[in-house]
Every structure is written in C-alpha cells, then in structure tokens.
Structure 1
Amino acid sequence: MRYALGVEYDGGGFQGWQGLGPSGPSTVQATLERALSSVADQAITVSCAGRTDAGVHAECQVVHFDSTAERDPRAWTLGVTGRLPPTVCVRWCMPVDDAFHARFSARARRYRYTLVNRPVRPALYRSTMAWERRPLDADAMHRAAQALLGENDFSAFRTVHCQAPHARRNLQDIQVRRSGETVSIEVQANAFLHHMVRNIVGSLLEVGAGARDEGWIARLLAGRDRTLAGPTAAPQGLVFLRPLYPAEWGLPEEVTL
C-alpha cells in the first residue's frame, strides 16, 4: 500500500532533509524513517516533495512511502508522531494510488521567508525568523520582485553547488508584504533551484535597504551571473509551506491546486 503524509517540522536542529545513513548527521528524513519503521515493524523509505536545507522549516512537507504493514491512517499519524521529537509531527496520512509520487506528481511548491525588520535583534521567534537591521521598503521589494515572474533562467539565483540539469523555472507568484516590524516574502514556482529562494530574498533585501534600485533584480535575472547578486539569506527565516498537486490525487485541500 502506498501512503502520503503531511509532515511539519522545525528544521533548526537538523542538517537538512536528506537522509545520510545511520552514521550521518541528524536529518529530518532519517528521523521520520526511523519512526515509520518502528510503527510498521519493517524498514520504510520515504520520498519527499522538496528537500530543505539545514535550518529550513516546513509547514506541510509531503512524502510518500510503501508498506505491507496493515495500519489505518490514524494509527500512522498518531503512532509515528508519538515516536518523533517535539520538533516534527505528522499532520495527516492517507492512502494514495501507486502512481502517486510526492515529488514528480507535484505541480508547484510554495515558500515563505519571514524576517524581523528593526534595529534590535529579536528574542522571540529567532529560530523561525531572520533579522534585518536596515530599514526596508517592502513596497519597493514587491515591485522589483515582479520582474521574476514567468518562465526564466534563474542562474543568477542558484548556488554553485546546485545539481539541477538546467536553471529554467516557472515562477508563478511572488509577494512582499509588511505587517508592523515583520516583512514576509512568499513565492510559488513549479520547482526551485538549490538556494533559489534565499538568494532571491538576499537580493531583494538590497533593494529594500536602498543599496540597489528596483530595476536591479531584472538586470540580475537577465545577466545570469550569481556573483553579481545579493548574499544568500539566513536559513531560519525560510518555511516550505507546501507542494501543490492536481485534484485527481484526492489529497487534502491545503496541498491541492
């Protein structure tokens, strides 16, 4: 039987998503697989919708796995969560068609980057928000960001370690908003390159702080040169909100297009 899970986690204590074996550093994947294997009484391997880096969080990461163990969705949800550390939980579980794949069936992914914008570093929420001391013009950041919409070559915003065969991605939505001292950047695309969101945020911060003009983002995109873009934003402000799937898979509404 194939199952899909919605998994929530605080990535602060993990070395990213991807499992590196029993002797490697702590990862979300390895932690989840140990809990699933305990409930199933057999070895379980999961595939995820999108790997996250060290320190990055997820509101609803979607994974799938196969098992011959007879457990109902409630038993998977509660049993696995009971074997996970407080920083990880299974939000839901449901059986899916054998053709479903958490990564390849997804049509889009959505992220949110949040930071506190004030002269003094935050004490609360410091593990889930970044900090920028320079005053930011969120409206200017939003206007500049619209140049990224559509299918483009995002070479200027990928890390040199990115292993994707090409840099073309379809960025479907990007919004920059301010609420008091908090600035958030939400972005949705069909897929993302390694560090793409954090590199976009790092460049938008230069615009928001007045160090670069609004047209700079469009010029970076066209130039395809990572060395000219802004620094990579800190990981703790980034949350993988959710992947999105066609309705035909019958997944919960929060992950359905």
Structure 2
Amino acid sequence: MRIVLGVEYDGTDFLGWQRLDRGRTVQGVLEQALSFVAAQPVAVTCAGRTDAGVHGRCNVVHFEPPVERADRSWLLGTNSRLPDDVCVRWIQRLPGDFHARFSARARRYRYTLLNRPVRPALDARYVAWLREPLDAQRMQAAARHLLGEHDFSAFRTVACQAPNPVRTVHALSVQREGDYINFDIQANAFLHHMVRNIVGSLLLVGQGVQAPEWLGELLRGRDRTVAGPTAPSQGLTFIAPLYPAQWQLPAEVTGADLQP
C-alpha cells in the first residue's frame, strides 16, 4: 500500500522541488512534515520536479508509510507542520504498483503573462510581465507546429539530463483574457525548461520578430542557441499530472481517455 498526496505550493521562495543538501525546497519541507507525523524519516516521490520559482497547483507524490496513521492524521498533521506556501490538498491510499511519476500518462502546465504597459503588483509572484504588445493569434498559429511527437532539443536547457529529447505534445493553446495571456500545454512528459523555452520563442512571434512558421524550423533544426530566451519562472505553474481512470484519483488528475 502506498499513500498518495496532492500537493499545492507557491514556488517563489523555494529553490525548486528537489531536495538539496542546503537551501529551501518543496520536497525538503514536505518530507520534514511527514517525518514529524511518522516520528521517523519519510521520503516521497513526485510526478514532476519543478524549478526554482515555479509553482504547483496539484503535484502528486507517493510514499510508503513506515507506520500506520489514519488518513486524517497524515493530512492534518502534515499541514500543521508545513509553511504557509505549501499544503497537502488531499490524500488517498493505492496499491503498491502505483507510482507518482511512472503511472502518469500526461502532465499539464500553464504559463501566465501580464501584457500591459504597467508592471503587476498583486500578481507579481505568479505572472511574468511584458510591456510590448503581443499578438496572441500569431502565437496560437505558431503553437500548432509543436503538436505531436517531435525531438524538442531546441527547447531544452543544455543542463537537461534526459537521455531522449523526443516528447509528445497533446495540446498547446495561447489565449488572451484582457491583459493576461495564458499558455496552456499538455504533453506526455517535459524536458528541462521546455515549457519556458517554448514560451520564450512564442513571444518573439507575438512581437512580430519571427513568423509563426519559425517554430517548425526550430523543431527541425534542434539547435537551442537559435531559439528564443527562457521565459521567467514566476509565470509557470505545474497544473497537474494525469493518470488513467483505473487509479480512481480525484478528477483534476485523472484523464479518462488515457491508456493504462
């Protein structure tokens, strides 16, 4: 039996998800809180590791409980020991063959950009900002070139450790809502900085610097040095991983049409 948690966090003041020898991380504070409830060390595995400054709406983790506690104790006890910028939203028990990372069949991210002459105040921790006008329709036209299975070498950081750069993008939309532009992307998995690098390249299209067809050229060229800059981290939120319906997890992390 494994315990599965849905975890929400504001990534602004963290050095990312992954536990480090020094510095504040989401995994670090979560494991400390769980270990307090268990009265012994607890290690967690997550669906997706986020970078410094990136937020999580519902990252999914699992762990094997070293002691028996009621679900209410795990949930309330852990939240009582977590800082204000992290919380466990829900808890569920699943068989031991469930894996937060490997059982996921897709992952969803949203990048939010404030596009107006004046910088943000209330939303400064959660949106990126660009004062120059952007054409969302041009960016949407460019985004279509990234759909499907491709080698995304042009959109990953040089520090990316993934052995295979091929990923499948299921959906990518660019929608303006007033002064805000949302970039929503779903794929089977992501490379390091892939979403932020895609957004950085789309912004050049939105500014009229590049044509929409340029995104297709970048894919085929596989050269990171000629793509757009990496977009700032604060605009990015890991919305959730998606799992097949067989696991009977909450609706926000379940894709009914995903194959086991």
- Whether these two folds match at TM > 0.5 is yes
Separation (CA, whole Å) in 2 of partners of 1:179 and 1:252:
28
Matched, 1:4 2:10: no
The yes-or-no answer on 1:17 pairing with 2:17 is yes
1:141-167, Cα deviation, whole Å (9 max, x unpaired): 011101000000000000000000010
Partners of 1:215 and 1:16 in 2: how far apart?
34
After TM superposition, which residue ranges in structure 1, 4 or more long, deviate above 4 angstroms? none
Equivalent position amino acid for 1:199 in 2: N
Residue 210 of structure 2: SS of its match in structure 1? coil
1:114-153 residue pairs with structure 2 within 5 A?
114-153=112-151
Question: What amino acid sits opposite 1:7 in the alignment?
Answer: V
Cα deviation 1:35-68 (Å, max 9, x = unaligned): 0000111100000000000000000000000113
Q: How far apart, in 2, do the equivalents of 1:168 and 1:104 lie?
A: 17
Q: Report the alpha carbon displacement of residue 120 of structure 1 after superposing the two structures with TM.
A: 1.3
The alignment status of 1:237 with 2:235, answered yes or no, reads yes
- Provide Cα deviations, 1:87-128, integer angstroms capped at 9, x if missing partner: 000000111110011000000000000010011111111000
Do structure 1's residue 30 and structure 2's residue 28 form an aligned pair? yes
SS in 1 for 2:171: strand
Partner of 1:156: 154
Match of 1:196 in 2: 194
Tell me if structure 1 keeps the 8 A contact 2:42–2:66. no
Residue 196 of structure 1: how far off its partner (Å):
0.1
Q: How many residues align?
A: 255
From 251, 254, 257, give the equivalent of 1:256. Answer: 254
Q: Which residue of 2 aligns with 1:58?
A: 56
Cα-to-partner distance string for 1:1-32 (whole Å, 9 max, x where unaligned) = 410000000000000000013xx111000010
SS at structure 2 position matched to 1:135: coil
1:85 is aligned to 83
Letter in 2 for 1:255: V
- Is residue 2:50 matched to residue 1:75? no
Q: Indicate the SS of the match to 1:145.
A: helix
Q: Which of 165, 174, 177 is equivalent to 1:176?
A: 174
> Residue in 1 aligned with 2:184?
186
Structure 1: distance between partners of 2:66 and 2:130: 49
Identify the residue that residue 110 of structure 1 maps to in structure 2.
108
Q: Which runs of 5+ in 2 are unaligned?
A: 256-260
SS in 2 for 1:85: coil
TM-score normalised to the size of structure 1? 0.98
For structure 1, the 5+ residue unaligned runs are none
Distance 1:197 1:120 in 2: 25
